[in-house]
Chain A
Amino acid sequence: EAGVTQFPSHSVIEKGQTVTLRCDPISGHDNLYWYRRVMGKEIKFLLHFVKESKQDESGMPNNRFLAERTGGTYSTLKVQPAELEDSGVYFCASSLLGSSYNSPLHFGNGTRLTVT
């Protein structure tokens, strides 16, 4: 079974530019999450999709962040325009629908975003 795939693995952009991160969840996983970790801090929730619907986007920092999951398969997270504080590692995770105890999160390797 292929795992959660994220790309790019690294991205370095200048302040004001746009970056799009992509996540391919495990096939059949309807739950898809985006998380972010800033150096030394906790892993913070950004949003949660169930299939193509946004279930919870309470963690999205502001309207410079736009997440989509067209067709309920892969997801993209666009940051436009990027600011210095957006730097961090962006993780995607997926899971089956159902109780989280029996369907734990599967994480991707993350995208390390550096805004200069």
Chain B
Amino acid sequence: AQTVTQSQPEMSVQEAETVTLSCTYDTSESDYYLFWYKQPPSRQMILVIRQEAYKQQNATENRFSVNFQKAAKSFSLKISDSQLGDAAMYFCAYRSAAGTYKYIFGTGTRLKVLA
């Protein structure tokens, strides 16, 4: 069975600085999708960034980028120029490209942004 591990329960970053949130996963599949979701204090989770496993190029969305290392099964999220609005819980998620539509989530990382 697939698993997703987020080893950092909490992280802090100074405003305008860069922070990296780690995520590792375990799977025997070769084709899958990876996601980072953000849950601000208002509680609705929103998609931050996504990556297809067969694409070697790392995904980028404005200040958010990932470092996808398929062989190492690592999918870290880098937030550049951190803003107060980035403070939230961040969840890493995995989904197989075939079969079940089930998403596997990690335990989350709480990011604090210090002014």
- Chain A interface residues toward B at CB < 8 A: 3, 31, 33, 35, 40-45, 48, 55-56, 58-59, 89, 91, 93, 99-101, 104-105, 107-110
Contacts and interface: CB of A to CB of B under 8 A. Distances in A.
B105 interface: yes
Interface in B1-45: 4, 9, 33, 35, 37, 42-45
Contacts of B100: 48, 56
Given A42-B107, A42-B108, A48-B100, 10 more contacts: A33-B103, A43-B91, A43-B105, A56-B100, A99-B97, A100-B95, A104-B47, A105-B45, A107-B37, A110-B44
A31 B37 CA distance: 18
Contacts of A31: 101
Nearest to B3: A42
19 contacts: A31-B101, A33-B103, A35-B103, A40-B9, A41-B107, A42-B105, A44-B105, A45-B102, A48-B100, A56-B100, A56-B102, A89-B43, A99-B97, A100-B101, A101-B33, A101-B50, A109-B43, A109-B44, A110-B43
A11 B100 CA distance: 31
Given A40-B107, A41-B107, A107 B102 contact: no
A108 B103 contact: no
Interface string B46-79: 1100101000000000000000000000000000
Interface residues of B, number: 25
A101 B52 contact: yes
Contacts of B35: 104
Interface of B: 4, 9, 33, 35, 37, 42-47, 50, 52, 91, 95, 97, 100-108
Contacts of B47: 104-105
Contacts of A59: 102
B39 to A, nearest CB: 8
A55 to B, nearest CB: 7
A58 B52 CA distance: 25
A16 B42 CA distance: 30
A42 B37 CA distance: 13
A33 B37 CA distance: 16
